[in-house]
């Protein structure tokens, strides 16, 4: 298992990165001795305010940018070939990020008004060769508003989101967004688990970040 190293003189950055790494359930190690860095650490996160330079270091403006920048390195690549941002349209849009068909994150945007800034952050924070947005064809009024918000940010296509809300009794906007990100025509229902529960649903249905590190 590869861990993220943290070495910074910026107390706020340290506090934020520790909290967010725990939230993302990513293994990490706080470095206190630069001459004794564990062998399983191949990336070190520091604040953009830190003046020193280290091998394998990423200097970030904030903790989420730092985490997103380090993810390809945790997966033993310099950058992702393709990032796909899936969006399940609605008053609380689901958002998911796939990097080379690995589910990196999925969450629900609390209000449509926040969607543009959220997608800008994703586009700027990740390291990749190509990025695109896939938005489901449901909820046309909210879908059209979202499209207007995201105009000119990245190539965007509308996909047939049929089957992405299965089963309806546990409908999850973030889960639907993850499914939408993988659609070429419409979602293949055969990809869904036979037994449904919210527990570990993402690990059962997708190749996830956590299954690879």
**DSSP letter string over 126-193?**
S-EEEEEEEEES-SHHHHHHHHHHTTTTS-EEEEB-TTTT-SGGG--HHHHHHHHHT-SSB--GGGS-
Residue 184 is predicted with a pLDDT of 85
Residue 168 is predicted with a pLDDT of 64
| pTM to 2 decimal places | 0.93
Residue 54 is predicted with a pLDDT of 93
CB 146 within 8 A of CB 135: yes
What b/e sequence results for 20-41 when a residue is b if at least 16 CB atoms lie within 10 Å of its CB, and e otherwise?
Answer: bbeebebebeebeeeeebeeeb
User: Which CATH class for the 80-212 domain?
Assistant: alpha beta
Element (H, E) at 95: strand 94-99
Residue 170 is predicted with a pLDDT of 64
What tens-digit pLDDT sequence spans the chain (213 residues)? 789 999 999 999 999 999 999 999 999 999 999 999 999 998 999 999 999 999 999 999 999 999 999 999 999 899 999 999 999 999 999 999 999 999 999 999 999 999 999 999 999 999 999 999 999 999 999 999 999 999 999 999 999 998 888 776 667 899 999 999 999 877 777 777 777 677 778 888 889 998 888
Domain ranges of the chain: 3-74, 80-212
Residue 169 is predicted with a pLDDT of 60
Residue 165 is predicted with a pLDDT of 83
The angle subtended at Cα 46 by Cα 45 and Cα 52, nearest 5°, is 125
The residue written with tokens 């999925």 in the block is 106
Residue 185 is predicted with a pLDDT of 75
Distance CA 137, CA 158 (A): 6
Distance CA 137, CA 89 (A): 8
């Amino acid at each position: 298992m590869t861990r993220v190293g943290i070495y910074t003189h910026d107390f706020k950055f340290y506090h934020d990165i520790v909290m967010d790494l725990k939230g993302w359930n990513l293994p990490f190690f706080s470095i206190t001795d630069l001459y004794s860095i564990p062998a399983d650490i191949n990336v070190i996160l520091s604040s953009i305010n830190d003046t020193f330079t280290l091998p394998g270091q990423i200097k970030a403006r904030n903790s989420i940018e730092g985490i997103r920048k380090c993810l390809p390195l945790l997966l033993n690549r310099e950058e992702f070939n393709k990032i796909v941002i899936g969006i399940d349209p609605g008053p609380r849009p689901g958002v998911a990020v796939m990097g080379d068909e690995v589910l990196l994150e999925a969450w629900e945007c609390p209000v449509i008004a926040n969607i543009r800034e959220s997608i800008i952050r994703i586009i700027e924070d990740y390291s990749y060769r190509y990025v695109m947005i896939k938005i489901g064809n449901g909820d046309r009024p909210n879908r059209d508003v979202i499209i207007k918000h995201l105009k000119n940010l990245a190539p965007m296509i509308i996909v047939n989101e049929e089957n992405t809300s299965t089963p309806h009794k546990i409908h999850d906007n973030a889960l639907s967004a993850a499914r939408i990100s993988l659609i070429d025509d419409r979602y293949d229902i055969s990809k869904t688990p036979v037994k449904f529960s919210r527990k570990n649903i993402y690990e059962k249905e997708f190749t996830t970040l956590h299954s690879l590190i």
